[in-house]
Structure 1
Amino acid sequence: MNIAFFLLPKQEVACVTLDSTLRQTLERMEYHRYSAVPILNRNGEYAGTITEGDLLWYMKDSNGKITFENASKFLLKDVPLRMNNKPVSIDANMEDLISLAKVQNFVPVIDDMNRFIGIVRRSQVIEYCERFVARQSQESL
């Protein structure tokens, strides 16, 4: 099975850039009701995944300097990421995808030039595994 079969393309993914403000990031996450979104750099390369927790801890650790009211003055590139969500190459095998999906809600997918091309959601990987197990059960009967 090819990873491209599971790909939700970049244009359908809610992403932010390193130059986004905290407010833009919070608003995008709230609008889409996501707790984490991919971050891209200026070249369209995957730069990491930002979570609600990353933003909240950054604001808390600012000792009141950053509030929701002034969040548009601070850039996402300054927020430390607490998790290292790894991407997978579009040419990777299913085992690599499954391995990452075990510990990430979604797996960013990159091309051979490290450009972000989309994501694979964990739920899609679980559905694939469920169908695989069901087929194996049917064949053993």
Structure 2
Amino acid sequence: MKHLRTVDDVMTHAVISVDRGARFKDVVETMRQWRISAVPVLSQEGRVAGVVSEADLLLKAQGADESRAVTAGDLMTVPAVTVPKDATIAGAARLMARGHLKRLPVVDDDGRLVGVVSRGDLLKIYLRPDADIAEELREMIMAELIPVGSALVNVHVADGIVHLNGSVPDQSLTDVLVRVARTVPGVVDVTAHFDADDVPA
């Protein structure tokens, strides 16, 4: 399994969308048919102009909508909250949490819709095999952090929990290793037990 880093790695590429002129009933039917809670509204250029959610539609059902909105263009919430396809998974998760959002349209550098990412998509990182997580972390440690011969770092991963041990020349390096381990997608928690003595020559 490849390293999961960005939204592009986990998003759904087949996206259901509507254009500004889609009628109210068509929007409701689209959402019902595909079992989605929101749908992006696209401009003629394929850019995300807004989003229509169940909450937007329910205003009509509650009798609270006095705007005479009958099309997706009338109903949509603007500006739409979108996420770039190269955004980190952690960044997308923070954006969803702040906005209490279930799904985010994913856009390319030109703002065109290329996918959608849901909460469930972001949770895919926790399905990574422990071996994949351990391999990625070892690569990061060897390539970026530990000069050869200056430390001995053992990596073991079980159920997404990283266990680090060995010996380091400086105990301050322990905090660095723990922080790095926490950045690896799929890591649930990190424990570290290092000996500052008897560092290999």
Confirm or deny: 8 A CA contact 1:58 1:80 kept in the other structure: no
Partner-residue secondary structure (3-state), 1:20: coil
Confirm or deny: 8 A CA contact 1:16 1:40 kept in the other structure: yes
Separation in 1, partners of 2:163, 2:39: 38
How many residues are aligned here? 131
Confirm or deny: 8 A CA contact 1:38 1:50 kept in the other structure: yes
* Counterpart residue number, 1:49: 51
> Please, what TM-score do these two structures have when normalized by structure 2?
0.55
Separation in 2, partners of 1:55, 1:23: 10
Residue 88 of structure 2: which of 71, 90, 93 is its match?
A: 93
Residue 105 of structure 2: which of 104, 108, 132 is its match?
A: 108
> Please, what TM-score do these two structures have when normalized by structure 1?
0.75
Unmatched 5+ residue regions in structure 1?
none
Matched residue type, 1:95? A
Residue 116 of structure 2: which of 114, 119, 130 is its match?
A: 119
Separation in 2, partners of 1:49, 1:77: 9
* Counterpart residue number, 2:12: 8
Q: CA offset at residue 126 of structure 1?
A: 2.3
Q: CA offset at residue 138 of structure 1?
A: 5.0
Residues 13-62 of structure 1: CA deviation (Å, up to 9, x unaligned): 22111111111101111111222122211111012221122112145235
Q: Which one has the largest radius of gyration?
A: 2
* Counterpart residue number, 2:161: 136
Q: What fraction of aligned residue pairs are identical, expressed as a percent? A: 24
Confirm or deny: 8 A CA contact 2:42 2:49 kept in the other structure: yes
Residues 66-109 of structure 1: CA deviation (Å, up to 9, x unaligned): 7xxxx9xx22211253x865111122223321212323211211
* Counterpart residue number, 1:18: 20
The alignment's C-alpha RMSD in Å is: 2.9
Q: CA offset at residue 125 of structure 1?
A: 1.0
Query: Which of the pair has the greater relative contact order for Cα pairs under 8 Å at 6+ separation?
Result: 1
Residues 102-124 of structure 1: CA deviation (Å, up to 9, x unaligned): 23211211011110101111112
Tell me which protein shows more helix as a share of its residues: 1
Confirm or deny: 8 A CA contact 2:38 2:103 kept in the other structure: no
